[in-house]
């Protein structure tokens, strides 16, 4: 793939400039005020696919945000790679914590990224990583070196649960026929230690409302004699873990996949430095489920976390008030064999059962995600491993991730296709946080690696 790699080398600067233009669009899928921007994001992605040489490019409307489709079928007898990614991003809040504006991309050097990193919302998750595929495709197609057919499906609702993409893939099974799905929306251990993600956690997400008195009360006149919804909610949340940091919801662990000692030993061989981990996020100590390592707690074990909690007075100074209601958003990360709907139901039953009579508790379920695991003995995995070995000069390590990509499990259920999670981000890239960034090295490395994947996959499928 000499011509392709030369093309990539020569066009590096242009690729970055084009990515910057995409990063300037605040395509925040969660915020209705940005609906028009999400659409603009879809249109720009479509335009890039056309310019890169894709055929039948469409911006497919859905009940929510559009899905961009495009394809290049060069020979029906060649294998087909379906590339999935997302152009929507998380909200930039809290915006005051950004060192430079979230939608004005700039390159700055960091300790971890001495060649520079692109700072912007979506730089890593997932515009930067998704865009690598469009540019790698452009390089292959303009160099006349396409080892496989390719289809692109780039959505605008990943960050809000991919509900409409689920419907889309059920309706478009034929159009989406392929041999493998390729996704860059995960990470590697470090630039020195490449890895391939072999599992994603699932998700159950609930919103809670605890209501006490019919109005805010004077905390002197009523305090002590009326249940305070924030106190009650805090107490109920505290009961969701025991002193060994196990989740107390009855049945919660019943279906959890138990890994063999060999599998756990294999996992423990991946490079990891706990002191470095602590230093990178400025914590004095880690905390989690007894009997498991930090790595395990963050990938093969389920979790329950409060994502936000509010109620009462949070303005300047002190206001003495006994609030009438309290709220929280809780996520549970799930591991293989746990079912999101079942877990949500178990949560609701248990949470309502521990509520005192002094308040009314409502549990509202949000989107969920089914956990996913990907095999390491498939052509897709081997192709990714060979491709990364070529570009990094080192064989990547298989590793499960703690994050979720809701559609991956559905790809298997609905389309019958395995997914390869060949991402290039780093945990330190601050995705979903202020100052999200993506290494220029990682962006270029991704564009370099993808054509090798196509080449290796075509070779393996022919055998
Ligand atoms: N790309 C991430 C997931 C991810 C990141 C997986 C890094 C592995 C490594 C994705 O965009 C994401 O943020 N997913 C959400 C789920 C969604 C339902 C909001 C998540 O994991 O919180
Ligand atoms: Mn993502
Ligand atoms: Mn994300």
Tens digit of pLDDT for each residue in 323-343?
Answer: 999 999 999 999 999 999 999
24 and 92 in a single domain? The answer is yes
Would you say residue 127 lies in a domain?
yes
Instruction: Determine the Cα–Cα distance for residues 396 and 377; give it in Å rounded to an integer.
Output: 14
Pairing of strands 397-400, 67-72: unpaired
Measure 328 CA to ligand 1 centroid, in angstroms.
20
The predicted structure's pLDDT at residue 393: 98
> How far are the Cα atoms of 5, 156, 326 from residue 438, in angstroms, in the given order?
21, 20, 37
Q: How many Cβ atoms from other residues are within 10 Å of residue 128's Cβ?
A: 30
Would you say residue 393 lies in a domain?
yes
363 and 457 in a single domain? The answer is no
pTM of the model: 0.95
Measure 404 CA to ligand 1 centroid, in angstroms.
5
173 and 312 in a single domain? The answer is no
- Our count of domains for the chain comes to 2
211 and 189 in a single domain? The answer is no
pLDDT, average across residues 290-296: 97
- Joined together, the tokens standing for residue 142 give 């303009």
The predicted structure's pLDDT at residue 463: 85
Contact between residue 180 and residue 81 where contact means Cβ atoms under 8 Å apart: yes
What is residue 203's three-state secondary structure? strand
108 and 245 in a single domain? The answer is no
Q: Please give the residue range of the domain that contains residue 375.
A: 2-200+371-462
Nearest-atom number in ligand 1 for the CA of 203 is 18
Measure 185 CA to ligand 2 centroid, in angstroms.
5
Measure 14 CA to ligand 2 centroid, in angstroms.
24
The predicted structure's pLDDT at residue 367: 83
pLDDT, average across residues 185-210: 97
453: domain CATH number?
3.40.630.10
pLDDT exceeding 70 applies to what percent of the chain? Answer: 100
Nearest-atom number in ligand 1 for the CA of 162 is 18
The predicted structure's pLDDT at residue 243: 98
Identify which ligand lies nearest to the alpha carbon of 90: 3
Nearest-atom number in ligand 1 for the CA of 405 is 14
Of 30, 64, 159, which is best to mutate to test ligand 1, by the most ligand atoms within 8 angstroms of its C-beta? 159
**Is pLDDT above 90 for 176?**
yes
Measure 373 CA to ligand 1 centroid, in angstroms.
15
For the stretch 26-40, pLDDT in tens is 999 999 999 999 999
18 and 167 in a single domain? The answer is yes
Measure 122 CA to ligand 3 centroid, in angstroms.
8
Measure 186 CA to ligand 3 centroid, in angstroms.
9
Question: Per-residue confidence at 43, pLDDT binned at 50, 70, 90?
Answer: very high
For the stretch 122-131, pLDDT in tens is 999 999 999 9
Residues with CB under 6 A from ligand 1: 125-126, 158-159, 161, 185-187, 200, 203, 367, 369, 401, 403-406
Contact between residue 175 and residue 70 where contact means Cβ atoms under 8 Å apart: no
Nearest-atom number in ligand 1 for the CA of 367 is 18
Q: Which residues pair with 83 in a beta bridge?
A: 152, 182
Instruction: Determine the Cα–Cα distance for residues 424 and 179; give it in Å rounded to an integer.
Output: 22
The predicted structure's pLDDT at residue 347: 98
pLDDT exceeding 90 applies to what percent of the chain? Answer: 99
> 29-46 burial string, b = 16+ CB within 10 Å, else e?
bebeebeebbbbbbebbb
Pairing of strands 360-369, 202-211: antiparallel
Identify which ligand lies nearest to the alpha carbon of 159: 1
22 and 112 in a single domain? The answer is yes
Contact between residue 170 and residue 78 where contact means Cβ atoms under 8 Å apart: no
Contacts of 147 (CB under 8 A, 6+ apart): 78, 140, 451, 454, 455, 457, 458, 459
16 and 148 in a single domain? The answer is yes
Identify which ligand lies nearest to the alpha carbon of 186: 1
Nearest-atom number in ligand 1 for the CA of 425 is 7
Of 158, 162, 367, 428, which is best to mutate to test ligand 1, by the most ligand atoms within 8 angstroms of its C-beta? 158
Identify which ligand lies nearest to the alpha carbon of 160: 1
Helices (H), 24-88: 35-52
The predicted structure's pLDDT at residue 170: 98
229 and 351 in a single domain? The answer is yes
For the stretch 348-377, pLDDT in tens is 999 999 999 999 999 999 989 999 999 999
Instruction: Determine the Cα–Cα distance for residues 307 and 70; give it in Å rounded to an integer.
Output: 36
Answer with the one of 320, 340, 368 that is the final residue of a domain.
368
347 and 403 in a single domain? The answer is no
Instruction: Give me the count of residues in the chain.
Output: 463
32 and 119 in a single domain? The answer is yes
The predicted structure's pLDDT at residue 424: 98
Question: Per-residue confidence at 434, pLDDT binned at 50, 70, 90?
Answer: very high
């Amino acid at each position: 793939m000499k011509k392709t790699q030369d093309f990539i080398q020569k066009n590096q600067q242009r690729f970055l400039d084009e990515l910057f233009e995409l990063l300037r669009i605040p395509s925040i899928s969660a915020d209705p005020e940005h609906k028009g921007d999400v659409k603009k994001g879809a249109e720009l992605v479509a335009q890039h696919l056309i310019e890169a040489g894709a055929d039948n490019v469409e911006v497919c409307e859905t009940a929510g945000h559009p899905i961009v489709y495009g394809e290049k079928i060069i020979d029906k007898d060649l294998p087909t790679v379906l590339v999935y990614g997302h152009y929507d991003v998380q909200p930039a809040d809290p915006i005051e914590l950004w060192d430079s504006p979230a939608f004005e991309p700039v390159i700055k050097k960091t300790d971890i990224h001495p060649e520079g990193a692109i700072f912007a919302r979506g730089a890593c998750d997932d515009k930067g990583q998704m865009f690598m595929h469009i540019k790698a495709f452009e390089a292959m197609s303009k160099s006349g070196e396409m080892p496989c057919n390719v289809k692109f499906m780039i959505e605008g609702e990943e960050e809000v649960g991919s509900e409409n993409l689920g419907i889309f893939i059920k309706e478009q099974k034929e159009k989406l026929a392929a041999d493998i799905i390729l996704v860059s929306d995960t990470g590697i251990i470090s630039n020195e230690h490449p890895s391939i993600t072999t599992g994603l956690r699932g998700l159950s997400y609930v919103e809670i409302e605890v209501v006490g008195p019919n109005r805010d009360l004077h905390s002197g006149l009523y305090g002590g004699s009326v249940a305070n919804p924030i106190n009650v909610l805090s107490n109920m949340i505290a009961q969701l873990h025991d002193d060994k940091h196990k989740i107390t919801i009855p049945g919660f662990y019943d279906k959890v996949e138990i890994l063999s000692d060999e599998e756990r030993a294999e996992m423990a061989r991946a490079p990891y430095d706990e002191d470095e981990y602590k230093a990178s996020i400025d914590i004095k100590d880690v905390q989690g489920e007894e009997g498991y390592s930090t790595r395990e707690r963050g990938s093969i074990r389920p979790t329950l976390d409060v994502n936000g909690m509010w109620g009462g007075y949070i303005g300047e100074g002190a206001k003495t008030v006994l609030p009438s209601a309290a709220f929280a958003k809780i996520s549970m990360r799930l591991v293989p064999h746990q079912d999101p709907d079942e877990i949500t139901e178990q949560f609701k039953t248990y949470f309502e059962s521990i509520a005192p009579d002094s308040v009314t508790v409502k549990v509202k379920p949000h989107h969920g995600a089914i956990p996913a695991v990907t095999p390491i003995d498939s052509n897709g995995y081997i192709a990714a491993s060979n491709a990364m070995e070529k570009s990094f000069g080192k064989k990547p390590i298989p590793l499960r991730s703690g994050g979720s990509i809701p559609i991956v499990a559905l790809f298997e259920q609905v389309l019958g296709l395995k997914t390869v999670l060949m991402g290039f981000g780093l945990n330190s890239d601050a995705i979903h946080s202020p100052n999200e960034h993506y290494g220029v090295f990682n962006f270029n490395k991704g564009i370099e690696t993808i054509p090798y994947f196509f080449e290796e996959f075509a070779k393996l499928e022919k055998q």
